[in-house]
Amino acid sequence: MSRKALIAANWKMYKTPAEAKAFIEAFLPLVAAHDRDEIAVFPSPVLLPGVVESLKGSAVAVGAQNIYFAEEGAFTGETSVLQLKAVGGTHTLIGHSERRQYFGETDEIVNKKLHTALKHGIVPVVCIGEVLEEREVGETADVLKRQLAGALAGITAEAAAPIVIAYEPVWAIGTGRTATPEMAVEAHKIIRAEAARLLNAEIAANMRILYGGSVKVDNCNSLIGQEEIDGALVGGASLKAESFAAIVKY
């Protein structure tokens, strides 16, 4: 089974427009000859039009870190999928653990956002993962299954093909602690088996499952190099062009 890897940069709430432009000017030459994998960057909403403009003519995709599930309306502070599309965004993160932790996103909200993204042809990267206490008491598999089932509720196998899952153990995000390749592979196998049960075997076999959680230049090979790991969602190490390019070229 050959799944094209996706290496994605989550810039979180970092970078001004000038810093984003400088990143892209430094980054593109470093990955100019690289077409093995897909690359995507996820900047803050205010940066989206400028980043799309700076990346014009390259193969690097641009996505939002979050979208709202309604198409438009009186939802102060939110960004709609239609606005994302209108400025040239093609992807979105959904249910990042920071959204779940600080902004109260539930599996139900994640599910509504996933329906909206799929309806409008936006590639969704759905983030799931256990917190440390859940891992320590042996609940990782249950959490992953619950979050995946919650996200996929009401989504048919036919509609599910574009979905990308990011396995992000919450205890590894921004902490410098990484899952070992064995831990990540085990989690990815659980996710893929559950996707096969909820959707079907073919969709699950083709579904890209990324690993995220303190991916750095010095650990990316051992993680993304695994057959079960179809790329990475990178936070801290995606902020510098040199380190993100080195991860892209793992």
- Sites of contact with ligand PEP (CB under 6 A): 10, 12, 168, 173-174, 212-215, 233-237
Name the minimum Å distance from CB 81 to ligand PEP.
20
Which residue(s) pair with 61 in the sheet? 40
Catalytic site residue from 38, 98, 130, 168: 168
Q: How far apart are CA 80 and CA 65, in angstroms?
A: 12
We find the least distance from the C-beta atom of residue 185 to ligand PEP, in angstroms, to be 17
Q: Which is nearer to ligand PEP, 89 or 236 (CB)?
A: 236
Distances (CA, A) of 54 to 20, 63, 198, 244: 9, 14, 39, 17
Is 96 part of the annotated catalytic residue set? yes
In the complex with ligand PEP, the residue whose CB is nearer, 10 or 198, is 10
| 8 A C-beta contact, residue 69 and residue 113 | yes
Is 186 a known active-site residue? no
211's tokens: 């690993």
User: Cβ 12 to ligand PEP, closest distance in Å?
Assistant: 6
Distance CA 105, CA 107 (A): 7
User: Between the CA atoms of 104, 107, 112 and 116, what dihedral angle is there, to the nearest 10 degrees?
Assistant: 100
Q: Which is nearer to ligand PEP, 123 or 203 (CB)?
A: 123
Report, as residue numbers or ranges, the catalytic residues.
Answer: 96, 168
